[in-house]
């Protein structure tokens, strides 16, 4: 039995702590967890998930706010662990449904979020917090701990209520020599663990990867060799929030007497924020505009852009498809300085092939150490479990294979109780015992342009059918009284690759089907349309092995 087969949970026991995720369990993205105690709610993260190829037309996927839609006034605060889109991207969509909810996060996290809120024309109540700080939020005492990740200023959270203590890692790893000198607070983890942790919520993204994640510093010699060999321009594609990677590229550009330009709206915006706050250091005249970069000799230019995940509208994808002012050739070197998000493999490979066809040299994680993960691998996770020694391990942030692997790591170091949950699963901590008590209905909420929540699975199925199988429309006018077809049938098709002459046999069959139905007493146009759909569907399936979308239109003359 899956957790989605469970009943609606009963009311929370007095003094108990309830935990349920509205996204982030069973997927990489849209992380959002709700904590409830004494009728008050605390939300940790509110992120987005990026669509796959099977979700055409979708821009973003949000957590399902349904279970808390009528309880927005009960929210004490939204606490953000760090500034990645899969943890902050959905905040504007939640805030536009309610009034002022305090937003807590580190300085960089809130700066990145405020730039996003400004685009949505939302003014929010933001409160900067830092590691070592404690804050009482209604019945929740929250302590903030430093953790190392692929973006500066990431935080773990220790949440204390009268029901018990939850330690939430956020996204983290244990780089012992990070570029910014800010290491994961293992001493804080141990201190809280010694005092007693009831539930340890642990990042699962890299649980299948053995050993320890290499240090960010290990990349520098590899990137340096890329700069030394490059004859023309160097184009580095990275996440628009990866300040550490961008800093490495800037430092190497300075060392090799190259100028740098940021390309892409999100890259320009985020790096501007990071520079203003002192997280990114750019010497003197190193940074130039994207227009000025074309005036430089190719061997003095470095472009830092978006598109490392093969996003269709991102800069690198447009360069690969020759749909951008920047063109590449045999002298140019492209560096994809990021890991693959699951589901993006085909898109990234398409971009790599497109750039290779243009003659560029492509350097990526599969052929060089140009990226290290921001998530703890198996060795680090075991280390964390041994330090904290929780009563219950609760793997979070990952697909099901990652969650299972993380659970196995917990049991391998002697943790007896492991909580497994999916989005909507309700876990209650009462009298020191954590149990699954029910399931809340949650699903995907799609953003399509200005539309939020209007795209359904049925609509996506129609879009996939249109894209993969084509479209047929049939028009006919009938005289109900005379029981005959007076106009048509006419057929129009798109995406099937068939000549008009090939539809002649089915036109005769449609006329016969309509007139037989009329003589049988079928008088409503919907019933007539259904008969057309079945007849045309059988024909196109049998004759052409296709299943296009079929739209019949019957009108009364």
394 Cβ contact partners less than 8 Å away, ≥ 6 residues apart: 19, 199, 200, 201, 202, 418, 419, 421, 427
Strand, coil or helix: what is 446? Answer: strand
What is the share, in percent, of the chain residues with pLDDT greater than 70?
90
For 449-503, the three-class secondary structure string (H helix, E strand, C coil) is CCEECCCCHHHHHHHHHHHHHCEEEEEEEEECCCCEEEEEEEEEEECCCCCHHHH
Amino acid 282: pLDDT: 93
- Which of 268-277, 318-327, 533-542 reaches the highest mean pLDDT? 268-277
pTM equals 0.82
The confidence band for 403, taking pLDDT boundaries of 50, 70 and 90, is very high
Q: Which CATH number does the domain 216-363 belong to among 3.60.15.10, 3.40.50.10710, 3.40.50.2300, 3.40.50.410? A: 3.40.50.10710
Residue 39 pLDDT class (50, 70, 90 cuts): very high
Least-confidence region, from 349-363, 381-395, 515-529 = 515-529
Peptide bond into 489 cis (omega under 30): yes
Q: Which residue has the higher pLDDT, 447 or 47?
A: 47
Quickly list DSSP for 58-108: --EEE---GGGTT-GGGEEEEE-S---HHHHTTHHHHHTTSS---EEE-HH
Q: When comparing pLDDT for 531 and 143, which is higher?
A: 143
**Mean pLDDT across 43-56:** 78
Between 494 and 91, residue with greater pLDDT: 91
Q: What is the pLDDT of residues 329-373, one digit of tens each?
A: 899 898 988 776 666 667 777 888 888 888 888 888 778 788 888
Question: Which has more confidence, 307 or 290?
Answer: 290
Residue 464 has pLDDT above 70, yes or no: no
- % of the chain at pLDDT higher than 90: 52
The H or E element that residue 403 is part of is: helix 400-412
Residue 305: closest CA among 234, 356, 248, 404:
234
Identify the band that residue 41 occupies on the pLDDT scale cut at 50, 70 and 90.
very high
**b/e sequence 430-439, b meaning 16+ C-beta within 10 Å:** beeebeebbb
Minimum mean pLDDT range among 10-14, 56-60, 178-182: 56-60
Pairing of strands 301-305, 259-263: parallel
What does the pLDDT average to over 304-325?
A: 75
pLDDT at 119: 83
- Rounded to a whole number, what is the largest CA-CA distance in the chain? 88
Question: Pick the residue with more confidence: 323 or 233?
Answer: 233
Kindly report, residue by residue over 205-224, the tens digit of the pLDDT.
999 999 999 999 999 999 99
When pLDDT is averaged across residues 184-210 and rounded to a whole number, the result is 97
Q: Please determine, for residue 12, whether its predicted confidence score (pLDDT) is greater than 80.
A: yes
Give domain 470-556's CATH architecture: Roll (3.10)
* DSSP structure class, residue 25: B
Decide if pLDDT at 46 tops 80: yes
3-state secondary structure of 306: coil
Task: Taking residues 487-515, report their average pLDDT.
Answer: 77
Would you state the pLDDT for residue 314?
72
pLDDT for 308 equals 60
pLDDT per residue as tens digits for the range 55-108: 556 667 889 999 999 999 999 999 999 999 999 999 998 998 776 899 999 999
**Residue 310 in this model has a pLDDT that exceeds 70:** no
Residue 468 banded pLDDT, cuts 50, 70, 90: low
Task: Evaluate whether 233 touches 302 at the Cβ level (below 8 Å).
Answer: yes
Position with higher pLDDT, 29 vs 146? 146
Report the topology of domain 17-211+373-452: Metallo-beta-lactamase; Chain A (3.60.15)
Q: How is the chain split into domains, by residue range?
A: 17-211+373-452, 216-363, 470-556
The pLDDT assigned to 440 comes to 95
Q: Residue 323: pLDDT band by 50, 70, 90 thresholds?
A: confident
How many CB atoms neighbour CB 476 within 10 A? 25
Arithmetic mean of pLDDT over the chain: 87
Q: How many whole angstroms from its chain centre is CA 231? A: 36
Q: Model confidence at 535, in pLDDT bands (50, 70, 90)?
A: confident
Task: Go through the chain and tell me how many residues it has.
Answer: 557
Q: Pick left, alpha or beta for residue 125 (phi over 0 → left; psi -120 to 50 → alpha; otherwise beta).
A: beta
Which one has a higher pLDDT value, 506 or 465?
Answer: 506
The listed range with the strongest mean pLDDT (97-106, 157-166, 260-269, 441-450) is 157-166
pLDDT above 50 for 1: no
Average pLDDT over residues 241-263: 93
Average pLDDT on 484-488 reads: 77
Higher-confidence position of 275 and 314: 275
Residue tagged 């109900």 (tokens): 480
Q: Is the model more confident about 505 or about 183?
A: 183
State the pLDDT confidence band at 466, using cuts at 50, 70 and 90.
low
Return the pLDDT at 452: 66
Q: What is the pLDDT of residue 60?
A: 76
The arithmetic mean of pLDDT across residues 524-544, rounded, is: 81
């Amino acid at each position: 039995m899956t957790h989605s087969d469970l009943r609606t949970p009963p009311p929370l026991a007095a003094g108990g702590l309830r935990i349920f995720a509205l996204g982030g369990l069973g997927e990489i993205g849209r992380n959002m967890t709700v904590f409830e105690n004494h009728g008050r709610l605390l939300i940790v993260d509110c992120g987005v998930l990026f669509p796959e190829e099977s979700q055409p037309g979708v821009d973003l996927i949000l957590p399902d706010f349904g279970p808390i839609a009528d309880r927005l006034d009960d929210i004490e605060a939204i606490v953000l662990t760090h500034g990645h889109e899969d943890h902050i991207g959905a905040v504007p969509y939640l805030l536009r449904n309610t009034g002022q909810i305090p937003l807590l996060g580190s300085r960089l996290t809130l700066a990145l979020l405020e730039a996003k809120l400004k685009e949505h024309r939302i003014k929010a109540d933001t409160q900067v917090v830092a590691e070592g700080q404690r804050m009482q939020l209604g019945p929740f005492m929250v302590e903030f701990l430093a953790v190392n990740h692929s973006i500066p200023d990431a935080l773990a959270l220790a949440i204390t209520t009268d029901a018990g203590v939850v330690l939430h890692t956020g996204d983290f790893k244990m780089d012992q020599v990070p570029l910014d000198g800010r290491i994961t607070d293992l001493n804080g983890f141990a201190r809280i663990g010694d005092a007693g942790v009831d539930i340890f919520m642990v990042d699962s993204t890299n649980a299948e990867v053995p050993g320890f994640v290499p240090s960010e510093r290990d990349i520098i010699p590899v990137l340096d060799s890329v700069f030394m060999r490059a004859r023309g321009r160097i184009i580095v594609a990275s996440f628009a929030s990866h300040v550490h990677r961008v800093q490495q590229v800037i430092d190497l550009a300075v060392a090799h007497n190259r100028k740098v330009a940021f390309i892409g709206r999100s890259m320009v915006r985020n790096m501007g924020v990071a520079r203003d706050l002192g997280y990114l250091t750019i010497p003197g005249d190193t940074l130039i505009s994207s227009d000025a970069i074309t005036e430089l000799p190719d061997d003095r230019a470095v472009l830092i852009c978006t598109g490392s995940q093969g996003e269709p509208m991102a800069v690198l994808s447009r360069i690969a498809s020759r749909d951008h002012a920047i063109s590449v050739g045999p002298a140019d070197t492209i560096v994809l300085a990021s890991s693959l998000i699951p589901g993006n493999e085909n898109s990234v490979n398409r971009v790599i092939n497109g750039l290779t066809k243009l003659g560029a040299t492509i350097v990526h994680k599969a052929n060089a150490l140009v990226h290290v993960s921001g998530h703890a691998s198996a060795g680090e996770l075991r280390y964390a479990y041994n330090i904290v020694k929780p009563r219950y391990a609760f793997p979070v942030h990952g697909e099901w294979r990652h969650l299972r692997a993380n659970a196995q790591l917990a049991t391998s170091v002697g943790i007896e109780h492991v909580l497994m949950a999916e989005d909507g699963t309700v876990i209650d901590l009462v009298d020191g015992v954590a149990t699954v008590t029910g399931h809340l209905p949650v699903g995907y909420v799609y953003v399509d342009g200005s539309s939020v929540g209007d795209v359904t699975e049925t609509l996506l199925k129609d879009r996939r059918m249109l894209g993969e199988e084509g479209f047929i429309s049939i028009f006919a006018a009938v005289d109900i009284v005379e029981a005959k077809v007076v106009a048509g049938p006419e057929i129009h098709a798109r995406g099937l690759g068939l000549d008009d002459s090939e539809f002649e046999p089915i036109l005769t069959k449609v006329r016969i089907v309509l007139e037989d139905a009329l003589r049988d007493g079928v008088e409503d146009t919907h019933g007539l349309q259904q008969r057309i759909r079945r007849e045309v569907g059988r024909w196109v399936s049998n004759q052409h092995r296709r299943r296009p979308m079929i739209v019949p239109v019957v009108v009364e003359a």
